[in-house]
Amino acid sequence: MLDSILVANRGEIACRVLRTARAMGLRTVAVYHHADRGAPHVSLADSALELHAEVPTAAYLDAAQIIAAAERSGAASVHPGYGFLAENGDFAAAVEAAGLVFIGPQPEVIRLMGDKVHARAFAAEAGVPLAPSALMEESFEAFLDAAAGIGLPLLIKAAAGGGGKGMSIVHDAADLEARARTAMSEAERYFADGRVYAERYVEQPRHIEVQVLGDGRGNVVHLFERECSVQRRFQKIVEEAPAATLPAELRARICEAAVKLATRANYRNAGTVEFILAPDGEFYFLEMNTRLQVEHPVTEMICGVDLVEAQLRLAGGEGLPWTQDAISVTGHAIECRVCCEDPARDFLPATGRARVLREPHGPGVRFDGGIREGQPITAAFDSMIGKLVCRGDDRTQAIDRAVAALGELTLLGVDHNIDYLARVIDHPAFRAGALHTGFVTEHADTLGAPVLDADARAAVVIAAALGVDDFRRLAYDIPEPYASIGGWRN
């Protein structure tokens, strides 16, 4: 059993980890950059050490300073949260080299899963389905044959590149050769490497992931799946568990695949195996995240577990807390990521100050926050400032509770996506479970801010005007009998 912990993170996840650690009686240590002084995670820990860096994010990426802080504070273990150093194998190794417990998988597993090519190969070996693909090795003709064998539609892209350069989608077999040649020449031009790569293109894919826990001794359990199909700018904004609609047999196969992969990796601690699910029911390995996910609370709420507690117990040398049979799903949970950004301007990150922050409450409502009222919101960190998680007996109840809680959640002083999230989850297509990763784009027309009529606009400006002293005084500070006589003229 661990007796102390340093949380090498900030914001809501640092708070999340610290709360469980405190509840388990661990001595807790926070680290923070000057920009985060006064942030909730700093005061939540028993002690807090400042990290120094010009750029605030650099502080939380500075492995040496963090390990030094752990040693200085006498913390026996380090929890990396997510992001920053969470999937840095060298960091995990350095933590362990310093004689501390790294709360996460083995460094080599982190490195393995962090390398996409090796991870794919490892998954293939484990018998986990991969999207059919073909890589041009020597012969262009051989590549064309192999690509044609994958079936349509196809995504062709530069083997060496990214960012959409040289990428095209082939819907018609007749176009394949011409598209492949174009892709080759673009690949040559942009990356000085003419090799191209073809992969089954999944239209309207869903993002399904499986939560796993391993003890590092070959034992792995899964805690069912989560659906994270609603994304913007390739980042998840709404997640739920279980998946919106998933046949039991398919769900079993997906979970089984995840367990297979984790078992083969001799996985230790919490991890997530991500899949792409095609409309035809085929699913393909995407990647494995070797850490606690942002969206882990939806799993906690339907399984009735505390994943951070499980992480700490596993790191403390205890075995898996549950057998697979003991884990079951009750109800449905939805998470909405609250981000300071402007949905009307392509989700551009917003800055300001959280002048008013009122968190929602109610049955099945959980708000994992990481800022305090009055805190500045700068561009230095990720725009996500908290997560609203709501559980219901079924999906509809979970959605209803989340819509209501988003209505209650008040954040004033900085642009945010709270209203937008409510429109997303209250959207008929979302309620119908018609999800895919292009959901936000597909429904952009109906997800915009509502157009207010004159009376509704009047209500808004009246509410605002009564918040302006000039106007408020005029409304309320007119003495009698003037106030009663009103606009009389003789």
Partner 1 sequence: MARLQSSIQTGSADFRRHYTHNRALAAELHEKQRQARFERPARDVERLARQGKMMPRERLEKLLDPGTPFLEFSTLAANMAYGGEAPGASCITGIGMIQGREVILCAHDASIKGGAWYPLSVKKIVRCLDIAIENRLPVVHLCDSAGGFLPLQSELFPDKHMAGRMFRNQSILSKLGVKQLALVFGHCTAGGAYIPALSDYSVIVRGTGAVFLGGPPLVKAATGEVVTADELGGCDLHTRVSGTCDYPAASEDEAIAIGREIVAQWDRPAKWDIQRDPIEAPYYDPDELYGIIPDDIKRSFEMREVIARLVDGSRFHEYQPAYGTTLVCGYANVWGYKVGILANNGVLFNDSALKGAHFIELCNQNDTPLVFLQNITGYMVGRDYEAAGISKDGAKMIMAQVGSHVPKFTVMCHGSFGAGNYGMCGRAYDGRLLFSWPNHQIGVMGGEQAAKTLTEVKLKQLERAGDAIDQATLDKVYDETLEAYQHQLSAYYSTSEVWDDGILDPVDTRNALGIGISAALNAPPLERGYGVFRF
Partner 2 sequence: MSTSFPFTLDGQTHSLTIRARRPALVVEVDGRCYTVSEDASGVPGESTLLIDGRPHRVARTRESDRVHVKLDRTTWSVAYEDPVTAAQHDAGGDDVLRADMPGVVVSLNAAPGAAVASGDVLLVIESMKMQINVVAHRDGTVENVHVEVNQSFDKGTELVSLHPST
Q: Which residues bind partner 1 (CB under 8 A)?
A: 473-474, 477-490
In the complex, what is the shortest distance from the CB of residue 466 to partner 1, in angstroms, rounded to a whole number? 15
- Cα–Cα distance for residue pair 106/127, rounded to 1 Å: 22
Phi, psi torsion values for 334, nearest 5 degrees: -130, 135
450 binds, among partner 2, partner 1, none (CB under 5 to 8 A by kind): partner 2
- Residue in 201, 193, 188, 192 with CA at minimum distance from that of residue 147: 201
Comparing CB distances to partner 1, the nearer of 326 and 474 is: 474
461 is a contact residue toward partner 2 (CB under 8 A): yes
Q: Give the C-alpha separation, 309 to 429, whole Å.
A: 36
Active site residue 195: no
From the list 30-38, 43-51, 106-114, 348-356, the region that binds partner 2 by CB under 8 A is 348-356
Residue 476 CB, nearest distance to partner 1 (Å)? 9
Of these, 419, 433, 434, 442, which contacts partner 2 (CB under 8 A)?
419
Return all residues near 376 (Cβ < 8 A) that are at least 6 apart: 351, 352, 353, 354
Q: Which does 248 bind (CB under 5 to 8 A by kind): partner 1, partner 2, none?
A: none
Tell me, by CB under 8 A, how many residues bind partner 2. 43
Alpha-carbon distances of 250 from 58, 72, 173, 256, rounded to whole Å: 42, 50, 30, 10
Which of partner 2, partner 1, none sits in contact with 355, Cβ below 5 to 8 A by type?
Answer: partner 2
Q: Measured from the CB of residue 425, what is the shortest distance to partner 2 in angstroms?
A: 13
**Chosen from partner 1, partner 2, none, partner binding at 479 (C-beta under 5 to 8 Å by type):** partner 1
Give the Cα separation of 262 and 363 in Å (integer).
Answer: 35
Where helices occur in 61-101 by DSSP H, the ranges are: 63-73, 89-97
Q: How far apart (Å, rounded) are the C-alpha atoms in residues 368 and 386?
A: 5
Q: Closest approach of Cβ 467 to partner 1, in Å?
A: 18
Q: How far is the CB of 407 from partner 2 (least distance, A)?
A: 3
Could you tell me if 296 and 85 are in contact, meaning their C-beta atoms sit under 8 angstroms apart? no
Name residues contacting partner 2, limited to 379-418 (CB under 8 A). Answer: 406-408, 410-413, 415-416, 418
How many angstroms separate the CA atoms of 125 and 117, rounded? 13
Is the Cβ–Cβ distance between 301 and 389 less than 8 Å? yes
Angle between helices 248-264 and 116-125 (to 10 degrees): 110
488 binds, among partner 2, partner 1, none (CB under 5 to 8 A by kind): partner 1
Answer yes or no whether residue 454 interacts with partner 2 by CB under 8 A.
yes
457 is a site residue for partner 2 (CB under 8 A): yes
How many angstroms separate the Cα of 283 from the Cα of each of 205, 244, 247, 278? Answer: 9, 16, 13, 6
* 309 scored as a contact of partner 2 (CB under 8 A): no
Closer of 363 and 481 to partner 1 (Cβ): 481
Closest to partner 2 by CB, 135 or 466? 466
Distances in Å between the Cα of 360 and the Cα atoms of 200, 343, 397, 409, 421 are 43, 22, 16, 5, 15
Tokens 């008929």, residue located? 428
For residue 209, the cross-strand partners are 226, 274
Residue 338 in the binding site for partner 2 (CB under 8 A): no
Paired sense of beta strands 341-342 and 77-79, if any: unpaired
173 binds, among partner 2, partner 1, none (CB under 5 to 8 A by kind): none
- The full DSSP string for 145-209 is HHHHHH-SSEEEEESS--TTTT-EEE-SGGGHHHHHHHHHHHHHHHHS---EEEEEPPSS-EEEE
Stretch that binds partner 2, among 36-44, 83-91, 361-369, 466-474 (CB under 8 A): 466-474
Confirm or reject binding of residue 117 to partner 2 (CB under 8 A). Answer: no
- Shortest separation between residue 427's beta carbon and partner 2, angstroms: 15
Pick the catalytic residue: 10, 200, 232, 291?
291
Q: Which residues are catalytic?
A: 291
Residues that bind partner 2 (CB under 8 A): 352-353, 355-356, 358, 406-408, 410-413, 415-416, 418-419, 422, 450, 454-455, 457-471, 474-476, 478, 483-484, 486-487
